[in-house]
Amino acid sequence: MKPTIRDVARMAEVSISTVSRVMNAPETVVPSKRNRVIEAIKELKYQPNAFARGLIYKKSNTLGLLIPDIENLYFAGVIRGMQDACIKLGYSLMICNTDRDMERTLSYIDTFHEKQVDGIVFASDMLYPEYYEKLTGFRIPFVLVSSHSDEYEVPSVEVDDELAAYDAVKFLIELGHKEIGMIGFNHDNSVSGPPRAAGFVRALTEFGLERNTGRIKYANHRFEHAYQAAHELFSEYPELSAVFCVADEFAMGTISYLKDRNILVPGQVSVIGFDNLRMSGMFIPKLTTIAQPIYQLGYRAAEKLHELLTTGNVAVMKEQMEHKLIVRESSREK
Amino acid sequence: MKPTIRDVARMAEVSISTVSRVMNAPETVVPSKRNRVIEAIKELKYQPNAFARGLIYKKSNTLGLLIPDIENLYFAGVIRGMQDACIKLGYSLMICNTDRDMERTLSYIDTFHEKQVDGIVFASDMLYPEYYEKLTGFRIPFVLVSSHSDEYEVPSVEVDDELAAYDAVKFLIELGHKEIGMIGFNHDNSVSGPPRAAGFVRALTEFGLERNTGRIKYANHRFEHAYQAAHELFSEYPELSAVFCVADEFAMGTISYLKDRNILVPGQVSVIGFDNLRMSGMFIPKLTTIAQPIYQLGYRAAEKLHELLTTGNVAVMKEQMEHKLIVRESSREK
């Protein structure tokens, strides 16, 4: 049977309201009692469900958002969607920028806890055990956006990265391209890197183009890096007639590289991006890309967190939203 | 003589520590006393200086940043600079996105006050009296970045918008252009709009090209709007051979429009931007632009706020940083 707050109080030899205070405003409880309560919570593995938590804890009507890189155009759209949902639902939204730095991320979780946010949306980064432990230790409800966790049961909302990448590469193949490369995310710090690479490989394999599967160079989230990666890719495989880029920023960096080498896009090389950033329709040439519902992902993440905060649960744990191929000017039949 | 906390306490018939508590943690003071203190503060026009304030108030080591539009590429750089300064100085940084909406801005000032930020950086938006009253009412120290106030004595850091615009237009004139237009910010909600338009007019006038001074169309901070403004500008003045855009986003929108009309940049029309966004060196063609020290503006704003918080004052009230002309590919001799 699941332990109750009563069990914790009994084991710690304190009143139920003291247990509640330890969870709600620990600084108001003398350290000796506080430590007994914390020990009892740990020993019993007591977990108030989020609903009960919502009833016990003071609501601040503030949500926190942790994003890895404020300069990445992708997040601007996520933030806009999340903010609009927050306005509708009556929350203030506070944003902190982690730079994918573990120490900073942990420190911002501390800050959000001190500021008593009701919940956190955690965007795009890996949910390392350190983060999970701290968030659950503080009992801060949270959801993941553009990310998911295989290890933990955490609500998440994202697109199907593998299928989206598959669709992008299949599109290039159906245009007649047979020499195809890819600019991908470094796998070691990327949630979507491995599935997008898997989609690339699956499409090539399905159409008998396995010889391309090794033609991948990796970049680190910025178009400057993609420019460099494109240089490496085309130096090694000058025969390529199409490139799948796992981000629109990478597609822009790749096109910029090709332009500087006087290689025409799409005349000589087709480039397809991923994201459908606000920028992608204004770039020259306008980008063919896989559209993520960026705004909706942010909006949905806030709604999901609200659902978790108000009902203690979410109807769909791992939610996937639809992607869509947008054909513009950067791709052409071979 | 300036009133002291002692005068406030005497008039409100409470202790000095009660006055301090009203300023620090008003919710801990019974309403009747609290109201007497607030009345006395108002009547005496009592203003604790920020230094005394720092000594009285609890420090939260958190700064707040209010930005008008998280999707605007300009702010990403400001945020990065500010965040790096915060890390160096030991602050957490919380960001809220106002959409230049007055109600939302006021609400976020409330939120920052509730969360007890030590100070606020207010970016790019007009400092309306409503904002000033609320911030000073809460006694939250604040500085302006990419903005300034003519009405109030508020520390600020920005570039010299008039001179920067003048330099941009002078550069076009010295390339031999005589038919020059401009895509500007709408003046009614823009701090930098009027001085940049003034710089445009001054350069034209100085070089005897007054006939161009009316060739301005306005856009609303997004390249989509600049695309439309460029359409209006070139429909009305097809003879233009150069355009000064008050933002790199506008330059991209303008170039995108010209590309869709098959007008070559820089072959037929030179375009100069303003900002030197991360993107501007990756665009096709790479943008000639007036570089703002975007990162440094954010960095300096945080330092300035820190100076205000720790010393109660700033050495330079209205600080201007240097701009710089960056010549790339979007401009050419006439």
CA torsion sign, B142 to B148 to B154 to B155? positive
pLDDT band at A42 (very low <50, low <70, confident <90, very high): confident
> What global pTM score does this model have?
0.81
Query: What's the topology of domain A62-157+295-319?
Result: Rossmann fold (3.40.50)
Using DSSP's 3-state secondary structure scheme, residue A267 falls into coil
Question: Which residue in chain B has the smallest CA separation from A259?
Answer: B284
- Please tell me which of the candidates A111, A252, A259 has its beta carbon nearest to residue B92: A111
Q: Is the pLDDT of residue A158 over 90?
A: yes
pLDDT band at B47 (very low <50, low <70, confident <90, very high): low
Q: Worst-scoring range by mean pLDDT, A240-244, A276-280, B231-235? A: A276-280
Per-residue model confidence as pLDDT tens digits over A57-82: 567 889 999 999 888 889 988 998 99
Per-residue model confidence as pLDDT tens digits over A107-116: 999 999 988 8
Per-residue model confidence as pLDDT tens digits over A15-33: 888 887 777 667 778 888 8
Mean pLDDT rounded to a whole number for chain B:
91
- Residue B288, strand partner residues: B272
Predicted confidence at residue A58, as pLDDT, reads 61
What per-residue string of b and e applies to A264-293 under the rule 16 or more CB within 10 Å gives b?
Answer: ebbeebbbbbbbbbbbbbbbbbbbbbbbbb
Distance, in Å, from the CA atom of B165 to the CA atom of A38, rounded to the nearest integer, reads 61
Residues of A in contact with B83 (CB under 8 A): 70, 97, 99
Q: How many CB atoms lie within 10 A of CB B45?
A: 8
Q: Is the pLDDT of residue A56 over 90?
A: no
Q: What percent of chain A has pLDDT over 70?
A: 95
pLDDT band at B41 (very low <50, low <70, confident <90, very high): confident
A228 touches chain B (CB under 8 A): no
Pairing relationship of beta strands A242-245 and A216-219 according to DSSP bridges: unpaired
Per-residue model confidence as pLDDT tens digits over A119-147: 999 998 899 999 999 999 999 999 999 99
CATH no., domain A161-292: 3.40.50.2300
Distance, in Å, from the CA atom of B146 to the CA atom of B126, rounded to the nearest integer, reads 10
Distance, in Å, from the CA atom of A284 to the CA atom of A278, rounded to the nearest integer, reads 13
Furthest-apart CA atoms within chain A: distance in Å: 77
Distance, in Å, from the CA atom of A82 to the CA atom of A121, rounded to the nearest integer, reads 9
A278 touches chain B (CB under 8 A): yes
Chain A segment 195-214 residues within 8 A of B by beta carbon are: none
A280 touches chain B (CB under 8 A): no
Distance, in Å, from the CA atom of A20 to the CA atom of A198, rounded to the nearest integer, reads 47
Residues of A in contact with B252 (CB under 8 A): 282
> B206 to chain A, minimum CA–CA distance in Å?
35
Give the angle A101-A102-A103 at the CA atoms, nearest 5°: 95
Predicted confidence at residue A239, as pLDDT, reads 97
Mutation pick from B69, B71, B99 vs chain A, by most beta carbons of A within 10 Å, is: B71
- Please tell me which of the candidates A92, A96, A252 has its beta carbon nearest to residue B108: A92
Residue B63 contacts residue B94 (beta carbons within 8 Å): yes
Residue B140 makes CB contacts below 8 A (sequence gap 6+) with B109, B112, B113, B117, B119, B120
A284 touches chain B (CB under 8 A): yes
Q: What percent of chain B has pLDDT over 70?
A: 95
Distance, in Å, from the CA atom of A281 to the CA atom of A326, rounded to the nearest integer, reads 10
Q: What percent of chain A has pLDDT over 90?
A: 72
Residues of A in contact with B80 (CB under 8 A): 70-71, 97
Residue type, position B83, single letter = Q
What homologous superfamily does CATH list for B5-57?
A: lambda repressor-like DNA-binding domains (1.10.260.40)
> How far does CA A289 lie from the centroid of its chain?
19
Using DSSP's 3-state secondary structure scheme, residue B103 falls into helix
Question: Which residue in chain B has the smallest CA separation from A75?
Answer: B71
Predicted confidence at residue A163, as pLDDT, reads 98
Q: Where are the domains of chain B?
A: 5-57, 62-157+295-319, 161-292
Distance, in Å, from the CA atom of B108 to the CA atom of B97, rounded to the nearest integer, reads 9
Q: Is the pLDDT of residue B24 over 80?
A: no
Per-residue model confidence as pLDDT tens digits over A180-202: 999 999 887 789 999 999 999 99
Furthest-apart CA atoms within chain B: distance in Å: 77
Q: Which of B114, B119, B68 is nearest to B93 (CA)?
A: B119
pLDDT band at B73 (very low <50, low <70, confident <90, very high): confident
Q: Worst-scoring range by mean pLDDT, A50-59, B55-64, B168-177? A: A50-59
Predicted confidence at residue B25, as pLDDT, reads 67
A87 touches chain B (CB under 8 A): yes
Distance, in Å, from the CA atom of A228 to the CA atom of A215, rounded to the nearest integer, reads 15
Residue A271 contacts residue A299 (beta carbons within 8 Å): no
> A91 to chain B, minimum CA–CA distance in Å?
10
A279:B279 CB<8 A: yes
C-alpha dihedral, A199 to A200 to A206 to A208, nearest 10°:
-170
Copy the structure tokens of residue A2: 């699941």
Per-residue model confidence as pLDDT tens digits over B129-181: 999 999 999 999 999 999 999 999 999 999 999 999 999 999 999 999 999 99
Residue B67, CA distances (Å) to A93, B101, B126, B146, B294 in order:
13, 11, 11, 11, 14
Q: Worst-scoring range by mean pLDDT, A215-224, B11-20, B194-203? A: B11-20
Q: Is the pLDDT of residue A54 over 70?
A: no
A255 touches chain B (CB under 8 A): yes
Predicted confidence at residue B194, as pLDDT, reads 95
Residue A305, CA distances (Å) to A62, A97, A121, A308, B156 in order:
11, 19, 7, 5, 37
Copy the structure tokens of residue A271: 């480039």
Distance, in Å, from the CA atom of B44 to the CA atom of B244, rounded to the nearest integer, reads 51
A282:B93 CB<8 A: no
Domains B62-157+295-319 and B161-292 share a fold: yes
B227:A282 CB<8 A: yes
Predicted confidence at residue A53, as pLDDT, reads 46
Mutation pick from A60, A66, A71 vs chain B, by most beta carbons of B within 10 Å, is: A71
Chain A segment 119-158 residues within 8 A of B by beta carbon are: none
Q: Is the pLDDT of residue A3 over 90?
A: no
DSSP 8-class letter at B229 = H
Residues of B in contact with A252 (CB under 8 A): 282
Segment A262-286 shows an average pLDDT of 95
Using DSSP's 3-state secondary structure scheme, residue B327 falls into coil
B282:A115 CB<8 A: no
DSSP 8-class letter at A29 = S
Q: What percent of chain B has pLDDT over 90?
A: 73
The strand order across the sheet containing B242-245 reads B216-219, B180-185, B242-245, B270-275, B288-291, B324-326
Predicted confidence at residue B51, as pLDDT, reads 36
In order, the DSSP letters of A236-255 are H-TT--EEEESSHHHHHHHH
A92:B97 CB<8 A: no
What per-residue string of b and e applies to A187-199 under the rule 16 or more CB within 10 Å gives b?
Answer: eeebbbbebbbeb
What per-residue string of b and e applies to B179-210 under the rule 16 or more CB within 10 Å gives b?
Answer: bbbbbbbeeeebbbbebbbebbbbbbeeeebe
- Please tell me which of the candidates B71, B77, B107 has its beta carbon nearest to residue A71: B77
A52 touches chain B (CB under 8 A): no
B320 touches chain A (CB under 8 A): no
- Please tell me which of the candidates B80, B115, B256 has its beta carbon nearest to residue A70: B80
Predicted confidence at residue A52, as pLDDT, reads 42
- Please tell me which of the candidates A77, A115, A284 has its beta carbon nearest to residue B259: A284
A282:B114 CB<8 A: no
In order, the DSSP letters of A162-183 are HHHHHHHHHHHHHTT--SEEEE
- Please tell me which of the candidates B108, B253, B278 has its beta carbon nearest to residue A71: B278
Q: How many CB atoms lie within 10 A of CB A295?
A: 18
- Helix H or strand E encompassing B123: strand B119-123
B70:A79 CB<8 A: yes
Q: Is the pLDDT of residue B99 over 70?
A: yes
Residues of A in contact with B97 (CB under 8 A): 79-80, 83, 93, 95
> How far does CA A95 lie from the centroid of its chain?
15
Q: Which of B245, B281, B309, B265 is nearest to B117 (CA)?
A: B309
